[in-house]
Chains A and B, each alone.
Chain A
Amino acid sequence: MNKAVQRRQLLIALLFLGPNLLGFLVFTLGPILISLAGSFTTWSLRPSVPLRFIGIQNYIDLFTDPNFYFYFYNTIYLLLAMPISIGGSLALAVFLSQKLELRGPRAAARLSLISAIITAVVCSVLFLAGSGSIALVLLALGLITCVGLYFGSIGYRTFYYLPHFTAGAGTILLWMQLYNPNFGLINQVLGQLGIPGPGWLTSTKSLLGFLPLPEHFNNGGFGLGAREAIMIMGIWASIGGNNMVLYLAGISNIPPELYEASDIDGANGWQRFRYITFPQLMPTTFFIVVMGIIGGLQGGFETARLMTEGGPAGTTTTLSYYIYTQGFERLDLGYGAAVAWVLFIIIMVVTLINWRYGNRETAD
């Protein structure tokens, strides 16, 4: 190929790539290099601190900083919600992809019409009788029943996906109110059942509180605390989210012959799941786990900032929130950058281990 043609091709490519490449260099690649270099300096937002090269001092400080280990522990602890959340997504996807149609083409429509009428009547009676709350719950129940019976799996999927789609500052504030120890919905319902509600966001307890953790981990003993509150909210928001949708796609790609063969062999539901569905979904699971760990290790920032300010006693401070407070509250960008790079190395190592181990598993 001659030079002139090559140059022309490069020019055309640059015209298409130009805007994106410029942004990429200025806002991604450039900052990555600056932050790497900055982590070896006294880089600060305080004008009084001169910029000096200090070698690996920030990294030495970091590894001798007891808080770093505490916040790393918190980050890992919050990740423990992941198996529950992923397992739940898988279970929902399995149930949603089973046969949900009722016999006869018009049975679903008829049933959902009947439940609509029953709901309307019962709700109006209750509402007039003054039990508005129960009426509202029944109304929701009736509505979901109609949608579920009529639309089947797509109908349910809409309800399950909503918490994920709306997740953000709004739903975090919503849960903050639900967790209020005095008048929050959760503790009030527990109180009605005669169960004393935990302190949730004000409590340093944790389910691993029985372990002999170091003094500065501010261990409040065994129980439900702020970290569990964040985990429960996270499971609520993610169980019917993207992971469930990916599993649904994965299940619909499993060749039906496999199930037909197992029917001939007389397999029951659990055996079909254990020997066909689960192994066939291994690549999907692998992808979800890898992405979940990468995201989880970087997580916990919004909840810490909005709900708990990293507290109580630092128990909900994760590494990403620590980086933020070092950079924007203590104005020590160099140290913050060093923590960010250590976080990156942790993510890389975990991902590589996953890759090694996971690929072997999926190759079976």
Chain B
Amino acid sequence: MEFRTLLKHIGLILIAITMTVPFLWMLGTSIKPHHEVEELSLVPRHPQPENYAIVLRQKPDPYTGKYLDLNFPKWYFNSIFIASWVTILQVLTSSMAAYAFSRLHWPGRDKVFLLYLGTMMIPGMVTMLPNYQIMVGLKFVNTYQGLIIPAAFSAFGTFLLRQFMLGIPRSYDEAAEIDGANHLQTFLDVILPMARPGLIALSIFTFLGNFQSFFWPLVMVKDDAMRTIPIGLLSFQGQYGQQTELIMAATVMNVIPLIILFVVMQKQLISGIQLGGVKG
């Protein structure tokens, strides 16, 4: 029996290696000098960590003698700024709506909720074209508003938190009501603290989804200063596609914060997936 357990470990370790090798290659290539990129090795003979400084525009590119024409630090800021605002707004609006759908009684509630659910089935491509025209009309194209506001409302988030709040026993709000709390107090002091795991899970999904979001920024962003990391990587690829080592350095800087976020929040995230069934 002990031997079979060890065998299982060996199998699982081999699969884990398969999952990890691409990341190792990425890390190794990101510190290679250009002429070593084509060699089959994971570790460079002459490591060149300056690649990171070049991507971050602290040093000129040794082959052209010029600083890169792309503002990677700004993309970084944009991605974090936009994803943070979307997360704050989406969690706020979704939790308030979820309270209205799970705790308040009002005529037409279930019909409105069904309408929300129904729209979740419609592909994003359907709403993307009109949304672009709405942004043109509001003059939001190529602005932070245009990147944040349309993403700040989510039927999925409302659905997730409603399901979560339905699981909180009624007796808690009844007790608060007897103590003379109004709906705002009940929402803030009773329901939100109890819905914490759901809020955290939704926050991780939303932040991750928007940090990595590709589609909407692709149509909204028109110049380099507004680019987010995924859109920036696309133009990086277009302009410096031959310089694999620089692209990999940029990719490492895209991926590392996510790995840290995952390792730190793993427990909450896993329970969130099991709770809601899907990643946003």
Contact = CB atoms under 8 A, between A and B. Distances in A.
Contact of B104 (A16, A21, A95, A96): A16
A324 interface: yes
Interface string B126-157: 11111111100000000000000110110100
Interface stretch (B7-15, B65-73, B166-174): B7-15
B34 to A, nearest CB: 12
A157 B96 CA distance: 34
A13 B109 contact: yes
Contact of A20 (B42, B96, B258, B270): B96
B244 A166 contact: no
A160 interface: yes
A32 B100 contact: no
Contacts of A35: 126-127, 129-130
* Secondary structure dominating the interface of B: helix
A54 interface: no
B42 A298 contact: no
Contacts of A137: 17, 21, 24, 42
B106 A13 contact: yes
Contact of B38 (A16, A183, A305): A183
B25 A298 contact: no
B25 A185 contact: yes
Interface in A221-261: 236, 240-242, 245-246, 249
B64 interface: no
Contacts of A32: 119, 122, 126-127, 130
Contacts of B41: 132-133
B130 to A, nearest CB: 4
Interface residues of B, number: 100
Contacts of A168: 212, 214, 230, 254
B255 A9 contact: no
A90 interface: no
A9 B126 contact: no
B215 A301 contact: yes
Max count, chain B CB within 10 A of own CB: residue among A28, A140, A160, A291: A28
A132 to B, nearest CB: 3
Interface stretch (A76-84, A141-149, A207-215): A141-149
A50 B45 CA distance: 63
Interface string A3-27: 0001001101100110111111011
Nearest to B41: A133
A178 B26 CA distance: 9
Interface stretch (A61-69, A99-107, A270-278): A99-107
Contacts of B115: 29
B270 to A, nearest CB: 6
Given A6-B107, A32-B126, A141 B13 contact: yes
Interface string B21-32: 111111011000
Nearest to A153: B12
Contacts of A48: none
A163 B132 CA distance: 31
A246 B277 contact: yes
B24 A140 contact: yes
A182 interface: yes
B40 A192 contact: yes
Contacts of B38: 182-183
Nearest to B247: A173
A166 B251 CA distance: 10
B19 A337 contact: no
A95 B17 contact: no
Sort chain A's interface into a size bin: 35 or more
A28 B154 CA distance: 9
Nearest to A10: B106
A172 to B, nearest CB: 8
A91 to B, nearest CB: 10
B114 interface: no
B22 A236 contact: yes
A348 interface: yes
Contact of A9 (B104, B266, B274): B104
B41 to A, nearest CB: 5
A188 B40 contact: yes
Contacts of B22: 163, 171, 174-175, 178, 185, 236
Contact of B254 (A92, A98, A140, A169): A169
Contact of B97 (A12, A17, A324): A17
Contacts of A135: 43
A86 interface: no
Contacts of A177: 25, 29, 244, 247-248
B54 interface: no
Nearest to B38: A183
B259 interface: yes
Contacts of B40: 133, 183, 185, 188-189, 192
Given A161-B266, A324-B125, 17 more contacts: A19-B92, A24-B155, A31-B129, A35-B127, A100-B5, A132-B42, A140-B20, A156-B16, A166-B255, A166-B259, A168-B212, A168-B254, A173-B237, A302-B214, A328-B219, A336-B129, A348-B121
Closest 7 CB pairs of A and B: A23-B153, A132-B43, A169-B230, A168-B212, A31-B130, A20-B97, A183-B38
Interface of B: 2, 5-6, 8-9, 11-13, 15-26, 28-29, 37-45, 92-94, 96-97, 99-101, 104-107, 109, 112, 115-116, 119, 121-134, 149-150, 152-153, 155, 158, 183, 187, 208, 212, 214-215, 218-219, 229-231, 233-234, 237, 244, 247-248, 250-251, 254-255, 258-259, 262-263, 266, 270, 273-274, 277-279
